[in-house]
Amino acid sequence: MPNNHPRVLIYSHDSFGLGHLRRCRAIAHSMVGAMDTLSVIILSGSPIIGSFDFRSRVDFVRVPGVIKLRNGAYSSHSLSLGIEDLLRLRASIIEHTAEVFDPDLMIVDKEPLGLRGEVQPTLEMLKDRGTRLVLGLRDVMDDPASLADEWERKHAVAALEDLYDEVWVYGKNEVHDPLEGITVSQSVRDKMLFTGYLKRDLPNGDDAGELNPFEEEPFILVTPGGGGDGMELVDWVLRAYEAHERPLFPALIVLGPFMPTDKQAEFKTRADALRHVHVIRFTPVIEKLMSEATAIVGMGGYNIFCEILSFDKPTLLVPRVVPRQEQAIRARKAEAAGLVTCLPIDDYPNVDRMIDALADLPERAPPSAVGFEELLSGLDTINARAEAILAKRTRRDSGQRLSLVR
């Protein structure tokens, strides 16, 4: 019988930041919007996943979170467990969810074998069942040398060769190849599908108007994403407004839920002393503010790049350079293409540089002025490919596989 109730499982390893979660959520929402009977579960370690609304037929299973220490080691986010016990617990939850949910398609975000290899047993189990396995990669991972070393340690290339059926790159090959510098076989290259970037829309039914304190007045939106590594950006912007050297548009700063509480308090106190600067901690519907803003200041992560393309706003990027070069690479390529302007973090805290950048920003051309076509084709391409995969699958009434046509 045809599989009338297909299932997709999406795994996102990250517990810190918003990028992985928001990317997976956008894909899940788009998929259920395109397929009337599809159900999607997102596996995530994010401690704030419950703050987001999810469409009907999209749900989540939260695994215990981890945090990455300065020395590169991992520790439990909130439980009094050693990291090895925590990883065993996470792996058990992941595998049991996959076993019972029995997905037709599994998408793994970014980490081929998951955190410390935790998703490998699940991938092997599902491969034996005939589940289609897809690795989803953002457009830029890291500089080639660093990524090659990392993937060698993690045995990632072997996973691409032996476990995965497809590799979806959420970007355009003309902009960047995330596997540049990685030695992979032609069979892996043949598995790659460059989808285009993921278009973002205004959330349905959400009214974030009360978050905009400037009403009809033009303003600049400043967002360091999750905020855990965005303290320099916020401090730099505040220094520019405190200097009072040139007229600047009002600024709305969204600090992010992972910014340390002491820095949040400091920045709010400084903003309260400024007439045209307002600070909020976090909103799960930042898309509304992006659509209302005159211009945007961000750090250069994947999500902010998709959003500035989607809402077509003049944008200033101040990319981080540690622990990865990902943001800096993306920002440089976007600036070279005329899509954004950049201010290197090495110039921090040069107040004059930030003042000039903020003063000029509202007059900059939006990304659409460059004329790139089909940059935002990602969700449509993903939906079409997923529908093609799911159309070839059949399922017994009991949930066991009848057959798989590859």
Q: What is the pLDDT of residues 297-344, one digit of tens each?
A: 999 999 999 999 999 999 999 999 988 899 999 999 999 999 999 999
Calculate what percentage of the chain has a pLDDT beyond 70.
92
Please provide residue 371's backbone torsions phi and psi, each rounded to the nearest 5 degrees. 90, 15
- Together in a domain, 219 and 343: yes
- Together in a domain, 40 and 189: yes
Q: What is the pLDDT of residues 36-79, one digit of tens each?
A: 999 999 999 988 899 899 999 999 999 998 877 656 567 787 78
Our measurement of the distance from residue 93's CA atom to the centroid of its chain's CA atoms, rounded to an integer in Å, reads 23
Query: Domain for residue 40, yes or no?
Result: yes
Please provide residue 254's backbone torsions phi and psi, each rounded to the nearest 5 degrees. -105, 110
Residue 394 has a pLDDT of: 55
Q: What is the pLDDT of residues 267-292, one digit of tens each?
A: 999 999 999 999 999 998 899 999 99
- Together in a domain, 290 and 315: yes
Query: Domain for residue 92, yes or no?
Result: yes
Query: Domain for residue 2, yes or no?
Result: no
- Together in a domain, 98 and 194: yes
SS3 percent helix, strand, coil of the chain, rounded to 5, is: 40, 15, 40
Contacts of 71 (CB under 8 A, 6+ apart): none
- Together in a domain, 118 and 230: no
Residue 3 has a pLDDT of: 52
- Together in a domain, 361 and 235: yes
> Could you give the C-alpha distances from 29 to 58, 104, 230, 284, 401, in angstroms and in order?
7, 17, 28, 15, 26
- Together in a domain, 179 and 105: yes
> Computed over its alpha carbons, how large is the radius of gyration of the chain?
22
Number of domains forming the structure of the chain: 2
For 117-123, what is the mean pLDDT?
Answer: 97
Query: Domain for residue 396, yes or no?
Result: yes
d(CA 307, CA 263): 26
Query: Domain for residue 1, yes or no?
Result: no
Calculate what percentage of the chain has a pLDDT beyond 90.
78
- Together in a domain, 366 and 380: no
d(CA 122, CA 92): 9
Least confident of 90-104, 191-205, 343-357: 191-205
The two tokens of residue 41 are 């579960």
What confidence category does residue 205 fall into, taking pLDDT thresholds of 50, 70 and 90?
low
- Together in a domain, 54 and 166: yes
- Together in a domain, 172 and 230: no
Query: Domain for residue 181, yes or no?
Result: yes
pLDDT at 406 over 60: no
- Together in a domain, 121 and 247: no
What is the CATH number for 102?
A: 3.40.50.2000
Query: Domain for residue 151, yes or no?
Result: yes
Query: Domain for residue 204, yes or no?
Result: no
Which range marks the domain in which residue 276 is found?
A: 209-370
Residue 135 has a pLDDT of: 98
- Together in a domain, 157 and 255: no
What confidence category does residue 378 fall into, taking pLDDT thresholds of 50, 70 and 90?
very high
